[in-house]
Structure 1
Amino acid sequence: MIGYLALARETFDVEFAESKFSKAKSILLSLSPNAIGFDKLVTNDEDADKALSFFKSHECEKIFLFQTTFTDAKFLLNFAQSINKPLCIVSFPEPRTGGRLRLNSICGLNLGMHSLIKNNITPEFVIIESDDSVNKSLFLNFINGSNDNQPLLWNKATLSGNEVDFNYTIDKQTIGIIGTRPEGFDTCDYDSNEVTTKLNVSLVDLDLDDLFDEAKDVAAATITETKNTVSSYLQGTEELVQEEFDKSLSIYHGLENLKDKHNLDAFAIRCWPETFTEYGCASCGPMAMMNEKKVSCACEADVLGGISCNILNQMNDSPSLLVDIVDVDKSDNSLVFWHCGLAPISMAKEGTAKSGIHSNRKKPLLHDFSLKQGQITIFRVSKARNKLQFFIMKGHVIDRPNSFSGTSGVISLGDDSPDKLEQMFKGGLEHHVAFTYGDISDKLIHFGKKMNIPTYTL
């Protein structure tokens, strides 16, 4: 017996997600008419409990899990461990409209794969394609397969030539951790002892209230001055709700004050939901402004993501950015790197930079632009398969319009970019990767050797 269920998060476009679930379910039922499933989108803990009870009382040999939108991995991990059956996660690309990221399904797949592989569970996955005959074939591969998957092992990274021009210094870092990572974000876990002893990083724990208190004390004249500066390089700031815009700018100054007070080099910040629900603004724009100053700010309290960016900042003397991989297009041989709106302004394609509001939470300030074209180096201090390692790749930002509201770039990884994306996911890479412009891959490989940290690529 084949089973199925679907996950969603209500801050995304649930109606669109329902349509994706319905179509994918119809493909499955055309192949396996006796398949049974939990037909309501699982969007909360109550639904999750009901879905788990359903599959405990209706035993299935294999289960399709439709990842219709982004979700955290809390339910997915609990479900996989409790049911202990072969699992295929089905994810859904979406049109690059330049508007709201309506599903963010592929990022949910990425986060879920990391969490499961870290816990010694290796599911299969399918990224839905435009040709349903291909999708049927992919579904049948899971239905008829042996399902004895193992995590994919990446290739050991090697220097491209002689060890020359490795003139860089990575100073001891101090990372400020503001708040805790959201529930179900295993991708943002870290071992504090490992971070201190193997990565030479000091950690300073702070509360969100420390940031909010600093922000509340910022003088009105200071906010006005910063507002004028921001409005000089971002279009449309006059259309924002000015009280919320002011609050967002006060977060920027709060971060600056905490940096100076605690001698911090970078931040890992629990950026949602409390900045929206308790303080009343988005932190994306302020974090982008700090990123421009090469004081990296990682979303979702992602400590290793913040360290990744700070290593790039020091090695390249240029701002870096932490992104999600949110789309893949086989016909175009491309991916999309995106985040809500925290790319530094120096990464903007000329003439595209404007202010924005968060696509789900509807509050400012966000940067909204397409990333400028150019060669990039992709990097992650990773805990894939629960082992500390470096992951490195080369890529290129293609000259394209903004794919989704916020800051995004269309990315080529060379030949067969979609296959490389699948290799990242099958190896358990986190849902955040860092990048900087230029090719510094050899320096990073050299640094990995120097730090005695295994370094991998594809």
Structure 2
Amino acid sequence: MRIAMIATARPTFVVDVARDRARAARALLTELGAEVVGPEELVMTPEDVEAARPYLDGADQVVHVCASFSDAGPALALYADLEQPVLLWAFREPGPVGDKLWLNSLCGTNLFGHALARLGRQARLVYGEADEPAVRQKLQEVLAGRLPAAPELPTSARERGDPAAAAEALTRLRGRTIGVVGDAPPGFTPSEYDPALLEDYFGLTAQPLTMAEVFARIDAVPAERQVAEVAAASAAQPSLTALDSDEVAGHAAVTTALRDWIGEDRLDSVAVRCWPEFPTQRGVCPCSSLSRVADDGIPTQCERDVYGAATMLLLAELGAGMTYLADTVDLEADRNLVRFWHCGAAATELAADPAEATQYVHCNRKIGVAGNFPLRTGPVIAARLTEDNETGGLRLLIASGTSIPAPNRFQGNSADVVLDADATEFIDGLVAGGFPHHTVLAWTDVRPGLRAAADQLRIPVIEW
């Protein structure tokens, strides 16, 4: 079998390890008898993507190795016209406890799966290292022409909540406004949204603000208000005093500007394009500013995830309390455990110990300010509204589990969740089912209300 293997990565992750994993993947495919073609080096630039395109011609199967996280730009550029499903290969996280995500490979694979689904294409997942027997067996089956079947997505026939209460929650949503800063980050298809769907389903509106406009607001924050916010934030989170004072001051200006905008336009949530402009042009990461705003009771979303905002607002109206938007980044199948993580924008109350909600530098950018603490333990649900590519409407993902006590596995905000359903099936379904890389974690079980609200809106529920 002629295999076109393309391995993508991003320089903000540990490229040397990503390169080693990609080489091991290529060696295994060759050892198993495949004729492997494709770039021998990591694909990291638009020029690299274009150079990889000719290798697809005449290939019997494409194996796309997410050697580290990258956006889904390569999937959009390379696979829009590909007929057969793409085999997406994700690796386990190799870094020590408490360090940054070295690869974030699974999350990148999740993002690729979503992009392929929006193109009307299909993905299958291989998860693990090249020396694992299960990985070898799956690849042997692929080379024998037996591509894994698409996982069956579970529909929900479980208990529904009070229809009247669900209707009241949906009524309260109508007229709410989501502040939307900037465009979707490039290659982040889950951050794209249809304003008409927000209006039709929920009566939600989006209030846009360009990057230039938000930066102008930040520049207009008076010095005395900036100083006051530094003092207030440092009193609440003393770990700020150990960070670079200029970055903490920039963080304070971002927080103040966002609060002013929320007050002036009566916003109910804020979805922010948090990179690349904030760190590259302003020298500050807005993660902890989003956390401060969340501490005020306003749900916030990084990476300008507007459907994530709609999910959080719906959960709040159903009584979920404070929630958090997180990536799905790691799987330990033998423990039925999935790790959820994001860079550090969690509200203080969601910390496993709010008194230890440490503020630190961003894991990849190495500038301030981002939270660095584990998330709350106990029963947890994961939910996500996203587009339904078959109907053109929306669909709803639900899962549940228990967030267990554990060290902060990855720098930022982590939760180790033992799922109630089969964790491997959940991960396979996320990727092959074309779901976003972000889900919303809630520590109050509002699943009956979610199901009832979805029924009233005629939104299909996929529930593990």
TM-score, shorter chain, exceeding 0.5: yes
Secondary structure of residue in 2 paired with 1:336: strand
Deviates more, 1:416-425 or 1:367-376: 416-425
Deviates more, 1:379-388 or 1:133-142: 379-388
| Aligned position for 1:132 | 132
| Aligned position for 1:354 | 358
How far apart, CA to CA, are the structure 2 residues paired with 1:371 and 1:168? 30
Q: Judge conservation of contact 1:117–1:151 (CA < 8 Å) in 2.
A: no
| Aligned position for 1:252 | 255
| Aligned position for 2:435 | 429
| Aligned position for 1:371 | 375
| Aligned position for 2:386 | 382
Change beyond 3 A, Cα 1:435–1:251: same
Q: Deviations over 1:230-265 (max 9, x none)?
A: 223435322211111111111111111111111111
Change beyond 3 A, Cα 1:133–1:294: same
How far apart, CA to CA, are the structure 1 residues paired with 2:415 and 2:381? 14
Q: Judge conservation of contact 2:9–2:66 (CA < 8 Å) in 1.
A: yes
Q: What is the TM-score normalised by the length of structure 1? A: 0.94
Q: Please report how far the alpha carbon of residue 287 of structure 1 lies from its aligned counterpart in structure 2 after TM superposition.
A: 0.6
Q: Judge conservation of contact 2:125–2:431 (CA < 8 Å) in 1.
A: no
Q: Please report how far the alpha carbon of residue 337 of structure 1 lies from its aligned counterpart in structure 2 after TM superposition.
A: 0.7
| Aligned position for 2:186 | 183
Structural mapping, 1:76-225, within 5 Å: 76-95=75-94, 97-129=97-129, 132-147=132-147, 149-150=149-150, 152-159=152-159, 169=169, 170-172=172-174, 173-225=176-228
How far apart, CA to CA, are the structure 2 residues paired with 1:19 and 1:235? 40
Does structure 1 residue 323 correspond to structure 2 residue 326? yes
Q: Deviations over 1:26-50 (max 9, x none)?
A: 2211102532231010000111111
How far apart, CA to CA, are the structure 2 residues paired with 1:148 and 1:372? 36
Q: Deviations over 1:130-170 (max 9, x none)?
A: 85222210111222234485574331353257769769633
Q: Judge conservation of contact 2:406–2:416 (CA < 8 Å) in 1.
A: yes
Change beyond 3 A, Cα 1:111–1:218: same
Choose the corresponding residue for 2:303, options 283, 288, 300.
300
Change beyond 3 A, Cα 1:131–1:419: farther
Q: Judge conservation of contact 1:267–1:295 (CA < 8 Å) in 2.
A: yes
| Aligned position for 2:39 | 38
Q: Judge conservation of contact 2:69–2:103 (CA < 8 Å) in 1.
A: yes
Q: Judge conservation of contact 1:6–1:66 (CA < 8 Å) in 2.
A: yes
Secondary structure of residue in 2 paired with 1:214: helix
How far apart, CA to CA, are the structure 2 residues paired with 1:454 and 1:269? 28
Q: Deviations over 1:262-305 (max 9, x none)?
A: 11111121110111112220111001111222211212211101
Q: Judge conservation of contact 2:24–2:130 (CA < 8 Å) in 1.
A: no
Deviates more, 1:44-53 or 1:308-317: 308-317
How far apart, CA to CA, are the structure 2 residues paired with 1:275 and 1:252? 13
| Aligned position for 2:232 | 229
Structural mapping, 1:401-420, within 5 Å: 401-420=407-426
Amino acid at match of 1:376: V
Q: Judge conservation of contact 2:173–2:313 (CA < 8 Å) in 1.
A: no
Q: What is the TM-score normalised by the length of structure 2? A: 0.93
Report how many residues are paired.
456
Amino acid at match of 1:294: G
How far apart, CA to CA, are the structure 1 residues paired with 2:128 and 2:188? 24
Secondary structure of residue in 1 paired with 2:303: helix
Amino acid at match of 1:171: L
How far apart, CA to CA, are the structure 2 residues paired with 1:60 and 1:454? 36
Secondary structure of residue in 1 paired with 2:79: helix
How far apart, CA to CA, are the structure 1 residues paired with 2:156 and 2:426? 15
Q: Identity of paired residues, percent?
A: 26
| Aligned position for 2:271 | 268
Q: Deviations over 1:84-141 (max 9, x none)?
A: 4442111011135211111111000111111112222112220115852222101112
Q: Judge conservation of contact 1:90–1:126 (CA < 8 Å) in 2.
A: yes
Change beyond 3 A, Cα 1:36–1:171: closer
Secondary structure of residue in 1 paired with 2:372: strand
Q: Deviations over 1:192-214 (max 9, x none)?
A: 11211222111111112222222
Deviates more, 1:305-314 or 1:165-174: 165-174
Q: Please report how far the alpha carbon of residue 222 of structure 1 lies from its aligned counterpart in structure 2 after TM superposition.
A: 2.4
Change beyond 3 A, Cα 1:132–1:435: closer
Structure 1, unaligned runs of 5 or more: none
How far apart, CA to CA, are the structure 1 residues paired with 2:317 and 2:212? 29
How far apart, CA to CA, are the structure 2 residues paired with 1:323 and 1:207? 24
Does structure 1 residue 21 correspond to structure 2 residue 51? no
Secondary structure of residue in 2 paired with 1:35: strand
How far apart, CA to CA, are the structure 2 residues paired with 1:180 and 1:76? 20
| Aligned position for 1:60 | 59
How far apart, CA to CA, are the structure 2 residues paired with 1:383 and 1:86? 20
Amino acid at match of 2:104: N
| Aligned position for 2:6 | 5
Secondary structure of residue in 1 paired with 2:417: strand
How far apart, CA to CA, are the structure 1 residues paired with 2:421 and 2:123? 26
How far apart, CA to CA, are the structure 1 residues paired with 2:272 and 2:157? 30
Does structure 1 residue 69 correspond to structure 2 residue 68? yes
Q: Judge conservation of contact 1:291–1:320 (CA < 8 Å) in 2.
A: no
Give the root-mean-square deviation of aligned CA atoms.
Answer: 2.1
Q: Judge conservation of contact 1:3–1:37 (CA < 8 Å) in 2.
A: yes
Change beyond 3 A, Cα 1:451–1:360: same
How far apart, CA to CA, are the structure 2 residues paired with 1:175 and 1:212? 19
